[in-house]
Chain A
């Protein structure tokens, strides 16, 4: 690691230094970027493809694209925003191409998300936190690819609507409306299982 990397304090500054090193032929700097962002890129890819093997393929393609286009990265936005934009588009393109070859199974907008039946509350009537996360993961899996990615990105980007509009190209009002709708659907699902937790909060 070089002297200037010690001086860089924020993730954004460290990213820019790594990008510069990559552009001067230092491949190990790109390895650092992959290691830093692999989980996030992979998670977005999983939320879109609903399949870990396919998500890994998509995530690999994303990093190759990023490497090839790194010279055109303008540094007007954060590297993570640019990276997630490529992930979002690559993932959705992958799903669209796949649908051309397979029979689509569409879920109509607003239709209730199926509830996982195998998760039951314990004797106290309270679900374990891990069970809750499993329940949530199951519900998220039922979302449409673009919706699932939108929700994932929103929480990765610390609830910044502006960042999400940059990544997805959707308008701010559209993003807000979709986020409200999606979370309401999830809330309805969870509410059926969360009576005890809700009582504890009240």
Chain B
């Protein structure tokens, strides 16, 4: 059982600011939240009267829908903004947008932004609790938390597990948040991708780095595939999609090297035939749809725990 009964910060900007007992608290709370989805009335009155703004400056389907659903299941009033059709496209700076929205007195702001550190900037300006829903190539904390929840659900634990994270390491905030969380909770993580997509300094996150997929998958309890992010690739990182799939695509044959009860994860959206074979994505190892379902419960847990936060006792916004 967790020993923390509260989160120390009133923002969730990244996994970097979370202690292991806070991670346990979020995952245990999510377990209670998951039950609500099984009820005839999938809604509790907890955040009645709270206003939550969802600011998505980058394309998102599942994360935005997942946050909105989590907010509605807790009875919060929610409103959303996407970049197209907002004043940002008229040239307003993030700081000015933040001050404008702040004047409307939201209790929480969920933000996805293409620039690393954008939510941290917002946290310095706003009185509202800020939740990072993905910032550039930096962090995506709720994704790592829902991944950890899904792993714990299937494996009963995080400590001592062998986790392989494979794919586009350079552009992946999912990798960074997961590597921080999993190593902090005692799992051993190996990150694998083509040399052109291995950023310098990755070992500082506590992970082992390899360019051999067979070595990475060997004996793994969890194989987490990352999306090839064509939209962030402004250069030529590998010769062809076919060559990428040959070297780094997860096929049933390659998965046979992992532990016999290994699970396969993907944060979505999947590029079938690029990083993952359809036979694996739809196979018995796949927990990809569990990840989506668990995302709502984990986000409900985060919203609930942050709603009790103390704005004076805030340490990590600075």
Whether both chains belong to one complex is answered with no
A residues apposed to B, CB below 8 Å:
none
B residues apposed to A, CB below 8 Å:
none
